[in-house]
Structure 1
Amino acid sequence: MNSYALLAIGGTLLCGVLAVAGIHVYATGRAQREALVDRLTSTGGRPAGLRTRRFTAVDRRIRRTALGKRIQQRLAATGLDLTAGEFAVYVAGGVAALWLIASAALAPFFGPVAGLFALWAGNTFLNWQRQKRIEAFIGQLPELSRILANATAAGLALRTALSMAAEELEAPAGEELATVTSQLALGRSIDETLGELADRLPSRELVVLVTTLVLSNRAGGTVVGSLRNLTETLQERKETRREVITMLSEVNATAYTLPLLGLGAMIMLNSMDSGSLARMTGHPLGQLAVIVALGLYAVGFIGMRRLGKIEV
């Protein structure tokens, strides 16, 4: 089987994976839209995110393993409507597709490298989705603090105020607070439920808010003044975080651009002299040189990402 056939197979497989992912996103968005329409028109309907699960047999098997349980916990933290089995199948398809494409377009040596990159990309995607959800939740904290302050000022209990905030706020704050109120309805304490919320979405702002609510609940004092002062502080921190992210966007973009330039250089070299990468990686010294180069790119990428990560 020549390189063009492998490239065609890999491209077809990658297109299939992207098509399945696109269908999944479309089905999820359509279900959420129908649920929102049902909620606004007060006609009932199925809950948001309800859909037919795929790869149920794979999901049952993988949930029994420690890796499957860890994947499911991380998916729950991201808010994605995916099961561990679905995510594992999508990642496996991406690994196979990139392996075939790299083997055909570059050299067989780069197939395993591309497979490892696909695994890293899947893990990075989960981290990115989790951080994105945390950032969105932090952006809603000033409004959450304002709702809680107004509710407690009206004489409502903290449990009732949290339930009201869950109904008023959009996702992800609304979903997380709905989970909190459901746990409170089952008899769990406010300290435990709010502590688990801070563990799921770790941030300094949320820790401050949770600490304020927990201490006020234990002492039995009023939280109106504290929450209103906290609302102003959270709003200022929100603007500061936005400015810092804007200032560091160039550094983060450069961290992703440099590895892409290296990949483009290899593709250009192989296109100018067909089979040059295969001949180079066919020798142990050539393989060592490629591994060292990839390691240096990885060190540079990690270093630039560290420079572009500032805790506010």
Structure 2
Amino acid sequence: MPFQGTEIEALGYAGIFLGVLLAFEGLRQVLGRKETLNEVRNRRMRMIGRGATASDVLQILKPRHDRWALERMPLIGTLPQALRQAGVAIRPQTFVAACFLGAACMAIVASAVVPPAVGAGVAALLCIVLPFFAVHKIKTRRMDALVAQLPDALDLMARGLRVGHPLNTTMASVARDMADPIASEFGVMVDQVAFGDDLVDAFADFADRTGVEDVRYMSVAVAIQHGTGGDLARVLATLGKVIRDRISMRKRIQAISAEGRLTSVFLSSLPLFILGATSITSPTYYAEVSGDPLFRPFAIIVCLLFAVNFVVMRRMVNFRI
């Protein structure tokens, strides 16, 4: 028995509701994931406790740098590095395939209820834009946590060096005693050295893997000390103090520029608010002139100016120290 129009419409609404619910729940679990104290200590140690070998740990926490076929494409060209920095153990090919497959399924279901163009746009927003945005937010949060932990890790290494421990032992103490994400990253370096990698190369890989400027400073300091000698404990302690001062300066600048950032958000969202309010209160305001030949060129110009305004305002209030 063929489905009636009302049944197809009901199935379409049910599919859209299920897709939105699954997307929201997935983002909620990813972005709002909380761990207990025992879980947060060290991801690497948990894997070893479950019986994983050092090679298994390296394979998951430090995957191979295979050539990414889409590395020249904007927005998704840096996806492999973003997934590594976010700590998401998933292949970029699988991630992209899942996003586009989900978008295609949702667009097909939504096209039974809304126009195909609208359904495709909603599907792309929920299944493509939101997952990539979630990865970016997780990466930013994880790298900020790593930078906040770095001064304590450097102090721990400096104290170990002062009492006579070798550098490898101080790295192992950071991997064992501190929490993630820095514990797992140092654990990867410890495993690299245990497998025969040079110490300087392990720190350089750490800097490349995270892409954090402060980590690169630490890598350069270890490389210089390894080649020329010197008091590495004093260098690490000084570097830890410098990183703390940089973090304090960033927070101070964020507090000072909070009013400007709020103003930029208000000014950037004001045209959208006016457009939405006008379309709701007077639907024929733009519809009456939409057939004019000059309407589309001027609409494109307004959209471009709006985008330029957003970028300029963002750069004016986005400070980085």
Query: Is TM more than 0.5 here?
Result: yes
Any idea what the Cα deviations from partners look like across 1:279-311, whole Å, max 9, x if unmatched?
Answer: 665665333333222222211111122112323
Residue of structure 2 equivalent to 1:174: 183
**Alpha-carbon shift at residue 243 of structure 1 (Å):** 0.6
Distance 1:299 1:93, change over 3 A: farther
Q: C-alpha displacement at 1:215, in angstroms?
A: 1.3
- The count of residues paired between Structure 1 and Structure 2 equals 289
Distance 2:302 2:318 in 1: 24
Unpaired stretches in structure 2, ≥5 consecutive residues: 53-66
Identity %: 19
The counterpart of 2:20, out of the listed 14, 17, 23, is 14
Matched residue, 1:66: 70
Q: 1:269 to 1:108 in 2, by over 3 A?
A: farther
Q: What residue is the counterpart of 1:52 in the other structure? A: none
Contact persistence 1:166–1:173 (CA under 8 A): yes
Residue 193 of structure 1, CA deviation:
1.7
Cα distance, 1:147 vs structure 2: 0.6
Deviation at 1:168, TM superposition (A): 1.9
Q: CA offsets, 1:138-196, max 9 Å, x none?
A: 21121011011011112111122111111222222112212222222221112222112
Q: Would you say 1:297 and 2:311 are equivalent positions?
A: no
Whether 2:280 is the aligned partner of 1:288: answer: no
SS in 2 for 1:66: coil
Cα distance in 2 for residues equivalent to 1:287 and 1:145: 58
Q: 1:13 to 1:256 in 2, by over 3 A?
A: farther
2:144 is aligned with 1:135: yes
Counterpart in the other structure of 1:263: 272
Query: More helix per residue: 1 or 2?
Result: 1
The more displaced of 227-236 and 249-258 is: 249-258
Whole-Å separation in 2 of the counterparts to 1:111 and 1:283: 27
Question: Are 2:151 and 2:243, in contact at CA under 8 Å, matched by a contact in 1?
Answer: yes
> Which residue is equivalent to 1:222?
231
Give the Å deviation of 1:81: 5.0
Q: SS at 1:171's partner residue?
A: coil
The answer to whether the Cα contact below 8 Å between 2:154 and 2:236 also exists between their aligned partners in 1 is yes
User: Which residue identity does 2:168 align to in structure 1?
Assistant: R
Secondary structure at the counterpart of residue 294 of structure 2: helix
Q: Distance in 2 between matches of 1:46 and 1:90?
A: 32
Q: What's the TM-score once normalised by structure 1's chain length?
A: 0.71
Deviation at 1:109, TM superposition (A): 7.9
Question: Which stretch of the first structure deviates more once superposed, 187-196 or 115-124?
Answer: 115-124
Does the 8 A contact of 2:200 with 2:223 survive in 1?
yes
Checking the alignment, whether the CA contact within 8 Å between 2:151 and 2:244 is kept in structure 1 is: yes
Rate the CA distance shift 1:113–1:259 in 2: closer, same or farther, 3 A. Answer: farther
Which portions of structure 1, spanning 4 or more consecutive aligned residues, are displaced by more than 6 angstroms?
Answer: 4-9, 37-41, 107-118
Structure-to-structure mapping, 1:4-43, within 5 angstroms: 13-22=19-28, 29=34, 35=39
Cα deviation, 1:30-49, whole Å, max 9, x if unaligned, reads 7x7784599999x94588xx
Preserved contact between residue 158 and residue 237 of structure 2 (Cα < 8 Å)? yes
Q: 1:49-86 CA distances to partner (integer Å, 9 max, x unpaired)? A: xxxxxxxxxxxxxx984368852332112223555334
1:235 aligns with one of 236, 239, 244: 244
Aligned pairs for 1:73-112 (under 5 A) are 73-80=81-88, 82-84=90-92, 85-86=94-95, 89-90=98-99, 93=102
Aligned to 2:197: 188
- The match for 1:50 is none
Please say which of residues 194-203 and 78-87 is displaced more in the overlay: 78-87
Q: 1:10 and 1:218, CA in 2 relative to 1: closer, same or farther beyond 3 A?
A: same
C-alpha distance 208-149 of structure 1, shift in aligned 2 (>3 A): same
Change (3 A) 1:284 1:180: farther
On the 8 A contact 2:80/2:91 being kept in 1, the answer is yes
Answer yes or no: is the 8 Å Cα contact 2:222–2:232 preserved in 1: yes
**Structure 1, residues 87-139: CA drift from partner, whole Å, max 9, x if none?**
65347757967xx79x97xx998777777777566555444433333322221
* Cα pair distance change 1:209/1:36, threshold 3 Å: closer
Contact 2:154/2:240 (8 A) holds in 1: yes
8 Å CA contact 1:38–1:45 kept in 2: the answer is no
Q: Which amino acid aligns with 1:176?
A: E
- Does the 8 Å CA contact 1:17/1:94 hold for their aligned counterparts? no
